[in-house]
Amino acid sequence: MEPHIQSQLLDLNRSFYEHFARQFADSRNTSQASITHALSYVGEGGRILDVGCGDGRAARALDRLGRRMDYLGIDASPSLIALARERASALTHVTAAFAILDITQPDWPDRIEHNAFNHVLALALLHHIPGDDLRVRLVQQIAALLRPSGTLIVSTWQFLASERLRRKIVPWATIGLDESQVEAGDYLLDWRRGGYGLRYCHLISEADLKTLCQAAGLAVREVFFADNGLNLYAVAGR
C-alpha cells in the first residue's frame, strides 16, 4: 500500500473516532461473555497495557472481575481518552491511567514510561490498521513491551460474518479511491448512529492473526470466535 493511501485511511479512522467517540463508546459494553473469557487470562496484580483502549471498557471489565492491578490505556482519540478518564472514576480495584498516544507512529513505545507489562490488550484494534507492514510492525512493538512470561490478548472484527454488517460496505470511490489502491481484505464501512460516518476495516482471518503473532515471536495458545462469530480472539505469549 502506498504511504499516502495508508495515511488517508488512518486519517479517516482518526476523524471517525474523534467525531463519534461517545456514540461508539455507548454502543459497547463491559459484560460481553467474550470480554469476560478473554480477561480470564489476566491474573491478579501486575501491570497491563491496553492498546487502543477507547473509552477504557477493559479497565471497567477488569474492575468488575475484581482484578487488582495497574492499568494503562492508550488511544489516539482525545475524546475517547476523555471518556475513559470520566468513566474510570468509579473503579475500586483497578488503578487506571490513560494517555493520548498514536500507535501508528514508529516511536510510540518510547513514550511509555514502563515498558515491561504482564499483559497487553489489543482489542478491536488491528483491523483498523491499514497495510500488512504496519500491522506486523505494531504487533512486534507490542510484543517487545511484554515481560518474558507476559500475555498478549488480541481480538479482530469479523464483520463479513454478519449480513447486517455486510450491508454497511460502501464503494472505495466514496472517498476517491479505487480497489486497486488498497489491499485484499480491505473494506470501507459506514456508520449511522448519531450521524453518518465511514471507517476503514481490514478482515483479519485466524491464519492472518496467527501469522502476525508468529512474526512477533509469539506462540498462539488459544484462538476462539465469540459474539456469534463477530469477533476472533487470540491469546499469545513467548
What are the strands, taking DSSP E only, across 124-185? Answer: 146-157
End-to-end CA distance of the chain: 30
**Residue 7, in any domain of the structure:** yes
**Residue 112, in any domain of the structure:** yes
3-class DSSP state of 218: coil
**What is the structure's pLDDT at 201?**
98
Which CATH number is 145's domain given? 3.40.50.150
Q: 232's torsion region: left (phi>0), alpha (psi -120 to 50) or beta?
A: beta
**Residue 173, in any domain of the structure:** no
**What is the structure's pLDDT at 30?**
54
**Residue 145, in any domain of the structure:** yes
> What's the domain range around 115?
3-162+205-237
- CB 202 within 8 Å of CB 186: yes
**Residue 177, in any domain of the structure:** no
Of the CA atoms within 13 Å of residue 169, those in its CB half-sphere come to 16
**Residue 178, in any domain of the structure:** no
Tens of pLDDT along the chain (238 residues) come to 999 999 999 999 999 999 999 888 887 765 567 888 889 889 888 999 999 999 999 999 999 999 999 999 999 999 999 999 999 999 999 999 999 999 999 999 999 987 799 999 999 999 999 999 999 999 999 999 999 999 999 999 999 999 999 999 999 999 999 999 999 999 999 999 989 999 999 999 999 999 999 999 999 999 999 988 999 999 999 8
**Residue 167, in any domain of the structure:** no
Residue with cell 456469534: 228
Number of domains in the chain: 1
**Residue 170, in any domain of the structure:** no
What are the strands, taking DSSP E only, across the chain? Answer: 47-51, 70-75, 95-100, 117-123, 146-157, 186-191, 197-202, 219-226, 231-237
**What is the structure's pLDDT at 211?**
96
Can you give the pTM of this predicted structure?
Answer: 0.94
